[in-house]
Structure 1
């Protein structure tokens, strides 16, 4: 049986060829002679109770100047595909939620969705980490500026960040006596109308914010330590950090062992967790990245391993 794989992603013409994990997945799938179909969120719809897609047959190439070509779009049931990769980047807005409803309908009809649509809705990437307090530093989720200010005073050096951000956007470090704490909290909470996260600052950020990829509950043996620029507190590559691959530490493996079974149970087949020092800070479920950086620096095959796991699940 030839596997038909669909992908829902941001515009493929705008991706960063060298770093795009979705492209790495597509190249791995194509090497297995799977048929590829490309969609954006706008291409998903429902008619008479049936989830549909305007999908374009896709060919990908390992060529930084010419990495894809699309054929004429075909309107088909989403359930005509064996597997769909949901790789739309945040923001996690109402349109993203509506997309998960459509994908969930295809899932009920037998299509494997990576990651499971209901889990994409249920597990906010910042909040999800707090369900494993044994793995985390001290944290708080609140929109009460008084409580957040007390948290900052107690821990003296903290991070404030929105629950729906990505790539290090709108992350603030606040030290004891910072005169800007009020305006920071007013801005992030929209004057007490929006929940945010506070975390005790972890000094080991200077050694990198480690991205650990987990496939079907099992970690890839190398992490990408995203080391901040001088004078920065954010290691995110989008914020100018430098990615350095390194073997997982014993603590990294311990964290992965604690959360892996839950990820597997919830149908979160491909996940990227963030670890600073000894502490879990985020669990990224929407469109985790760093496949390319790890494959370039280490003797490890990630995208093809993910396709093998998908193939095995379809066979089962």
Structure 2
């Protein structure tokens, strides 16, 4: 694929300045234009960065599987200052985007993986980086947080950019590249889903705005559960479902390429566990 396509050049009627270097967390000295509030550090050392993490409650997470915890570990190891808050504690107050939360320390000890400092209300414009890391549902509450976090840019780097998080949900974004995806339909109508299965046989049915593999089902061409699953999903919410032709090669892995500002920087091959169709990471 053309690299410009990966940057979504010309794919939207919205214009948006280019993203700032996410590599700033590892080498903020090279990105001083975007990170003006660095403190501490001896000559030749990486200056400390003020990092806020917006995430779901940290207590119940699985530290061996949660990627947000790994980000926090890495930032802490680099000497950066961590502050943690949950999305419900984000607010707009008289021209400021604020959050009520805690200074955070993390450690790789199951059941004792974090410590919190004194609770405080902070102005997110005083931070260098805000990590937008809460899980879906991708509902109006989630969308509202993206609008609020947009108001602290460009002074503060928000990762990922809330504009793109809101306007390009991952399961809809790939519709711009139909030549790279299996046959797909997005629909709420049962007859449309039935017709898709008649045309393509075995299929995957899942929520449009889910995450972590929750609610993902494989239905064979003879499976009698399509109607029941449709009733369950449509009874839970008002959103369409996504159906895709099942690709047997998923058993060999699902390759995920990591991009930073449109450039590939790494990749992983997610292989399903024995007896599983899903290969999701959290």
Of 254, 261, 264 in structure 2, the residue corresponding to residue 209 of structure 1 is: 254
- Structure 1 gaps, min length 5: 238-288, 290-316
Classify 1:30/1:198 alpha carbon distance in 2 versus 1 (closer, same or farther; 3 Å). Answer: same
Structure ranking higher on relative contact order (CA contacts 8 Å, 6+ apart): 1
Aligned 8 A contact 1:124 1:163 in 2: no
Secondary structure of the residue aligned to 1:210 is strand
1:52 aligns with 98
Partner deviation per Cα, 1:50-103 (whole Å, 9 max, x = no partner): 211113122223444533221112222110111100111122222212211221
- Larger helix proportion of the pair: 1
How much is the aligned-residue C-alpha RMSD, in angstroms? Answer: 2.3
Asked if structure 1 preserves the Cα contact closer than 8 Å seen for 2:255 and 2:267, the reply is no
2:194 paired with 1:141: no
Could you say which residue in structure 1 is the equivalent of 2:81? 35
Within 1, Cα distance between the matches of 2:237 and 2:131? 36
Taking the aligned partners of 1:43 and 1:182, their CA distance within structure 2 comes to 39
Shift of 1:192: 11
CA distance in 2, matches of 1:207, 1:58: 39
* Residue deviations 1:278-313 (CA, integer Å, cap 9, x gap): xxxxxxxxxxx4xxxxxxxxxxxxxxxxxxxxxxxx
Q: Which position in structure 2 is the counterpart of 1:72?
A: 118
Describe the superposition over 1:210-252 as per-residue Cα deviations: whole angstroms up to 9, x where unpaired: 344333333344413232432x332336xxxxxxxxxxxxxxx
Q: State the Cα distance separating 1:206 from its structure 2 match.
A: 1.9
User: In 2, distance between residues paired with 1:80 and 1:191?
Assistant: 40
Query: Measured at CA, do residues 146 and 70 of structure 1 come closer, stay the same or move farther in structure 2, by a change above 3 Å?
Result: same
The match for 1:21 is 67
The verdict on how the C-alpha distance between 1:162 and 1:36 changes in structure 2, with shifts beyond 3 A counting, is same
Q: Which residue of 2 aligns with 1:197?
A: 242
- Check conservation: 2:51, 2:80, Cα contact below 8 A: yes
**Map of 2:278 onto structure 1:** 234
**Counterparts of residues 1-316 of structure 1 (less than 5 Å):** 1-2=38-39, 3-64=49-110, 66-108=112-154, 110-190=155-235, 194-230=239-275, 232-236=276-280, 289=282
Provide the TM-score with structure 1 as the length reference: 0.68
In the TM superposition, what is the alpha-carbon distance from 1:163 to its structure 2 partner?
0.2
Q: Which runs of 5+ in 2 are unaligned?
A: 1-37, 40-48
Contact 2:202–2:221 (8 Å) recurs in 1: yes
Aligned length in residues: 236
- Give 3-state SS (helix, strand or coil) of 1:107's partner: coil
For residues 193 and 150 of structure 1, what CA distance do their matches in structure 2 show?
21
Could you tell me how far apart the structure 1 residues matched to 2:66 and 2:197 are? 37
